[in-house]
């Protein structure tokens, strides 16, 4: 089975600042990888590079076996055009910290928007699939509610259903619970846990170390644009070897 993500020496700069320094990363199909690390360490940047919201400055990134952003012709690399990049980006679904639902659309309309407008699926089929997904995130009864009528946790669950409606092969989560009131965190983590159990490949940036410990197959600790340590959750979270990992984890736990 080929990996869902391969990154080799991935480098990303913003001006003179190097946000990602030659990152090597591999995520297996069906794997849940959690990324932890201090603010500014490059976690969001890495996710944004994987789904091509950012363009990398060096190295290579493959998603589901396909080199992202380029086509290899002979021994030359040709940059893909916007349409080709848009097509590649469909392989990944992304859920952000702040819910980005369309405020003027109901939950159901938010979920069917992409399949109908982008994938050109039939309305009936899109609606059936959307209702199934809203059911999966426990919100079938809120299909006709507008975002403003939903709690933050419910909005975030609709955002997950909306991403899944595009039938992605990889889901990226960027601190999906960190903007939520504490009592709403659990319901979103439960949906993510179910998704992981269903076999979805997932990369999750999170400060929820309990979730990482329970659900992740592997945990990556990033600092200053580099992967400092990678390993099984119990090793990274309970017995980190690197001093920077140790101090980060004790800071999060205290
Ligand atoms: N568009 C940008 N322009 C300039 N610098 C940027 C840009 N995006 C990110 N950076 C810088 O790159 C570094 C990594 O940012 P990134 O958002 O990836 O960190 P992070 O690990 O996700 O942090 P946090 O935990 O606060 O979300 C930071 O120093 C940030 O200021
Ligand atoms: Mg971030």
Q: pLDDT tens, 185-217? A: 999 999 999 999 999 999 999 999 999 999 999
Comparing 6-20, 22-36, 68-82, 131-145, the range with the smallest average pLDDT is 68-82
Is ligand 1 within 6 A of the CB of residue 92?
no
CA of 214 to the centre of ligand 2 (A): 22
Residue nearest to atom 31 of ligand 1 (CA): 40
Give the pLDDT confidence score for residue 210 in this predicted structure. Answer: 95
What pLDDT score does 19 carry?
98
- CA–centroid distance, 123 to ligand 2, in Å, is 35
| Mean pLDDT, residues 87-101 | 93
- Ligand 1, atom 27, lies closest to the CA of 39
Atom of ligand 1 nearest to the CA of 205: 22
> Is the pLDDT assigned to residue 128 strictly greater than 90?
yes
Q: How confident is the model at residue 148 (pLDDT cuts 50, 70, 90)?
A: very high
- Return all residues near 7 (Cβ < 8 A) that are at least 6 apart: 23, 24, 25, 26, 46, 49, 50, 59, 60, 61, 62
- Phi then psi for 124, rounded to 5 degrees? -60, -45
- Statement: residue 1 has pLDDT above 80: no
Q: 238 CA to middle of ligand 2, Å?
A: 23
Do residues 108 and 158 lie in contact, with contact meaning Cβ atoms separated by under 8 Å? Answer: no
Taking the CA of residue 225 as reference, the ligand 1 atom at the shortest distance is 14
40 lines ligand 1 (CB under 6 A): yes
Ligand that lies nearest to the alpha carbon of residue 174, given by its number in the listed order: 2
- Which has more confidence, 44 or 1? 44
State pTM to two decimals.
0.96
Structure tokens at 104: 């003027």
Give pLDDT, residue 2.
85
Ligand whose nearest atom lies closest to the CA of 207? 1
Is residue 44 in contact with ligand 1, taking CB distance under 6 Å? yes
Cα four-point dihedral sign 126, 131, 133, 137: positive
- Which of 15, 20, 43 should be mutated for ligand 1, with most atoms under 8 A from CB? 43
User: Which one, of 118, 94, 13, lies nearest residue 55 by Cα?
Assistant: 13
Mean pLDDT to the nearest integer, 64-79: 92
Ligand 1 within 6 A of CB of 41: yes
In the predicted structure, residue 254 carries a pLDDT above the cut 90: no
Average pLDDT (75-80) is 92
Nearest CA owner, ligand 1 atom 4: 14
Interaxial angle between packed helices 123-136 and 152-164, expressed in degrees from 0 to 180 and rounded to the nearest 10: 130
């Amino acid at each position: 089975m080929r990996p869902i993500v391969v990154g080799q020496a991935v480098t990303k700069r913003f001006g003179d600042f190097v946000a990602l320094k030659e990152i090597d990363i591999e995520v297996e199909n069906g794997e849940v990888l959690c990324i932890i690390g201090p603010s500014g360490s490059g976690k969001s940047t890495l996710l944004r590079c994987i789904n091509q919201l950012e363009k990398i400055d060096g190295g290579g990134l493959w998603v589901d076996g396909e080199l992202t952003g380029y086509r290899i012709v002979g021994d030359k690399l040709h940059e893909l055009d916007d349409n080709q990049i848009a097509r590649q980006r469909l392989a990944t679904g992304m859920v952000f910290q702040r819910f980005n639902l369309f405020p003027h659309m109901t939950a159901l309309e938010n979920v069917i928007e992409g399949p109908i407008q982008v994938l050109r699926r039939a309305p009936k089929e899109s609606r059936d699939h959307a209702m199934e997904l809203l059911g999966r995130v426990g919100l079938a009864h809120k299909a006709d509610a507008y975002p403003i009528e939903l709690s933050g946790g419910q909005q975030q669950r609709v955002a997950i259903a909306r991403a899944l409606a595009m039938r992605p092969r990889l889901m990226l989560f960027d601190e999906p619970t960190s903007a939520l009131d504490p009592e709403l965190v659990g319901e979103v983590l439960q949906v993510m846990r179910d998704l992981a159990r269903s076999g979805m490949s997932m990369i999750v940036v999170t400060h929820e170390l309990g979730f990482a410990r329970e659900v992740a197959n592997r945990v990556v600790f990033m600092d200053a644009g580099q992967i400092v340590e990678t390993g099984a959750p119990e090793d990274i979270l309970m017995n980190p070897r690197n001093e920077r990992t140790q101090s980060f984890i004790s800071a999060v736990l205290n």
